[in-house]
Structure 1
């Protein structure tokens, strides 16, 4: 297995724009989707797939994660881009996807919000928001 490669948010956007079978899977929690926002893929005619890697509030790993990928209609031939807050959970989710038979798994580097800046705020240094890609509040 080649491992899960990091891909920039801009390169992810480009892949989602060009490849009809490519999908973005947001593996954050329900609370993060509701209070922080989600990537908006309407411009490329898609919707982000929401499957938590860890279940809030216990933060236990979602034991049905691979099953949820399949139920979402994702296929082993599809390029799957995993995103979380900063890129750690999405890397683990990508590794689990590869182990479950989805070899084309990628990690969105910097995640949705990226690391904290000098003032302790996210969304400014790196990640989906910092790169100015579309997002919305739910």
Structure 2
């Protein structure tokens, strides 16, 4: 593993609440943020940092990813929790951030929506299924 580790959505929420400098970075696409929803950190006085790992609609890796993290003010000494839809893109994001000096980069397993169930719906796990705060639209 070339990043700090994997955490569940609940563990990420607990860490974000407990550590003032901890940051949640949502690496999904603009379309996902707009139509699926976002984690809501308002009750702990924080905002989700939005930096695409893959650009929409092209689907290519965002070559400015770490520059965008820096531009968003994500401190290199902060605990940074990367979340995507299901916990796959966020691994790549955590690895890239670690290579560039964000040594406390974590992957949020299960992501925002989690994997498919037998009916191909995302109802098994993830931030939303865990009942953590989120908003849509």
Pairwise CA distance, 1:58? 1.0
Aligned-partner SS, 1:20: coil
Contact 1:26 1:51 in 2 (8 A): yes
Q: Which ranges in structure 2 are unaligned for 5 or more consecutive residues?
A: none
CA distance in 2, matches of 1:45, 1:13: 13
Contact 1:83–1:112, Cα closer than 8 Å, also in 2: yes
Structure 1 unaligned spans of 5+: none
User: What is aligned with 1:107?
Assistant: 107
Q: Which runs of 4+ in 1 moved over 3 A?
A: none
In the other structure, the counterpart of 1:128 is: 127
Aligned residue number for residue 11 of structure 2: 11
SS in 2 for 1:114: coil
Write the deviation string for residues 8-67 of structure 1: whole angstroms up to 9, x where unpaired. Answer: 100100000010100000000000001100000001110000000000111111011101
TM-score where L is the length of structure 2: 0.96
Q: What is the CA-CA distance between 1:118 and the residue it aligns to?
A: 1.9
TM-superposed CA distance for 1:117, in Å, is: 1.1
Q: Is the 8 A contact 1:4 1:91 kept in 2?
A: no
Displacement of 1:2? 5.2
RMSD after superposition = 1.1
Instruction: State the match for 1:98 in structure 2.
Output: 98
For these two proteins, the number of residue pairs brought into alignment is 137
CA distance in 2, matches of 1:55, 1:4: 25
Distance 1:2 1:72 in 2: 23
